Amino acid sequence: TLPLSLICGPCQMESREHALEMASAIKEIADSLNMGVVFKTSFDKANRTSLTSARGLGMEKALPVFAEIKETLGMPVLTDVHEPDQCAAIAEVVDVLQIPAFLCRQTDLLVAAAKTGRVVNVKKGQFLAPWDMRNVVAKLVNSGNANVLQTERGASFGYNTLVSDMRALPIMAQNGAPVIFDATHSVQQPGGQGTSSGGQREFVPVLARAAAAVGVAGVFIETHQDPDKAPSDGPNMVPLHALKDLLKTLQALDGIAKAAV
């Protein structure tokens, strides 16, 4: 088993400059820890709570920025896809196509993403049992693409709350696809702030540490140099200045977890 990897970036692509700065800063941190890293950011927040929330740069403006990040930083990039039509164009630039949790059972989207041949990272729906990811992963693999990652991001627990069942990690691992733990969205409070989702940033390290100690292929952590001013997911993004210390702890836990398994 490989050491812990990282999927990291700001929730949404705010501008070319911001994306490049964040990617560069994250790359530097990961390199200093000798940790594999994929840069994540969204070009479109397609399921915001409210119609008036900011949705992001859009695909046309975002793809050249992803290309530039790859070229200048030599860093693989990940973004989420929402419609089957988008997959081919995005796959020309982006290394990892991510299926959002709400869409993890949309067959056409899964098939279209799989057919690109790119790595597909599928998030587990908040409504899905961990053992049912087997069927989701099979839709991808049976479409001819075995390069699949699966990401735990919390399960519905009453109203406006998610809970992270750490048992899900080894259960999902039985599917054969590497398991990522998304510490950012697992602390989301869906709809918990009226017209936007809330979050509990202080619990990101708590859950990330728990997952690393259980043993995962990677962690997914959104970060921002000033989360409180971010256009989305601010309440649950880790401040950039706190990232390195958190990752160091996770690496140490990962070493013990993988020696013990």
Helices and strands (DSSP H and E) totals, the chain: 8, 13
Lookup result for tokens 């200045």: 241
Phi and psi torsions of 101, nearest 5°:
-55, -45
Which residues of the shown chain bind its own copies in the complex (CB under 8 A)?
A: 46-51, 55, 82-85, 102-103, 105-108, 111, 125-132, 135, 138-139, 142-143, 155-161, 163-167, 169-170, 187, 190-191, 195, 200, 202-203, 206-207, 209-214, 245, 249, 252-253, 256-257, 260
Residue 165: CB minimum distance to its own copies, A:
5
Residue 238: CB minimum distance to its own copies, A:
14
Q: Quick one: 92 or 157, whose CB is closer to its own copies?
A: 157
Q: Quick one: 24 or 49, whose CB is closer to its own copies?
A: 49
Q: Quick one: 61 or 157, whose CB is closer to its own copies?
A: 157
**Which of 224, 235, 145, 147 shows the shortest CA–CA distance to 188?**
235
Burial (0-12, 13-18, 19+ Cβ within 10 Å), 139: buried
Euclidean distance between CA atoms 43 and 52, whole angstroms? 16
Residue 54: CB minimum distance to its own copies, A:
12
Q: Quick one: 41 or 188, whose CB is closer to its own copies?
A: 188
* CB neighbours of residue 63 within 10 Å: 18
Q: Quick one: 143 or 147, whose CB is closer to its own copies?
A: 143
Residue 139: CB minimum distance to its own copies, A:
5
DSSP state of 237: P
